[in-house]
Structure 1
Amino acid sequence: DYRLTYYTPDYETKDTDILAAFRVTPQPGVPPEEAGAAVAAESSTGTWTTVWTDGLTSLDRYKGRCYHIEPVPGEESQFIAYVAYPLDLFEEGSVTNMFTSIVGNVFGFKALRALRLEDLRIPTAYVKTFQGPPHGIQVERDKLNKYGRPLLGCTIKPKLGLSAKNYGRAVYECLRGGLDFTKDDENVNSQPFMRWRDRFLFCAEAIYKSQAETGEIKGHYLNA
């Protein structure tokens, strides 16, 4: 019974808590408080059974808490469960870690018939752990040795389907034709028709060749 540990209606949220609002549809016979508590448990410190290692940590400090639950107006057997997560549950500056917990395996939890994340409040304390890009436009200008004008670039098209060799050819033609840089489309990763390493090698060849012919520094942004 998750309600005994993870349903805490008297809890007062903190400014540093990550707050999530889930629309939950419990399985028949599962009380909404149990469903909300199950979401809080499975997305934080909960386990489907009692384990002796629970005594080796402070679950009360790290657990998620379902602190409020209310029915969805006009919808049968649907509820909004509000869950608070302590900041220490998440790695600093990691969107991946945060979403793995909050929208990860909890969506396959068998106590629920349906679940949807409706809203999320990320506190300033967590936002500040994200350092942003390692460098900005000035560093890019320094690397390309381009000042006093906008940088001109493009995305290689078609974004999918080119072989690595033809992709590199397109990069060369763009850079040789006057562009400062080219870039991968976000859909391009390491697909069977163009592996990442092959694309890297042909793009590097295109950059060096265009630099030698134009006397300018060129660049290509690879999607890793």
Structure 2
Amino acid sequence: KDDENVNSQPFMRWRDRFLFCAEALYKVQAETGEIKGHYLNATAGTCEEMIKRAVFARELGVPIVMHDYLTGGFTANTSLSHYCRDNGLLLHIHRAMHAVIDRQKNHGMHFRVLAKALRMSGGDHIHSGTVVGKLEGEREMTLGFVDLLRDDFIEKDRSRGIFFTQDWVSMPGVLPVASG
């Protein structure tokens, strides 16, 4: 994947990076006969610019784009999510900046709230962290928000940070991806 900090710096413009990555993908697929993927970071300063990047990725035939949904914003994420679903692209969600919001014990908001907001906003999969490693979280709490992301119905379970029963009805889930 592109790094979450990579969007379009002067030393690495997004269009050049997208072209380079697409060329590398097609080359390695031809050499191995295997399907490969790369998450092209479409995060940008405006929603219109993100859509432009997603359109270009689609034109290149790259099947996955990535968005930093907290830095990009929920409305922009929703617009990008709709574009991706309508045009056959997968949308990988990165949670860059989450620790500033959810790692403080005395203020901020828990990631389960951010996870619910993401599910309503849209995306196909997200870096969810794990119960071990760099993005480690409390085991039961992590499993609780993982279930909030993917399951259609969640029973109240305070030990996992689920404070009320949640029925997502037909709202699509988001696949948690172990990372870090």
TM value normalised by structure 2 = 0.32
The structure with the larger Rg is: 1
TM value normalised by structure 1 = 0.27
Bigger share in strand = 1
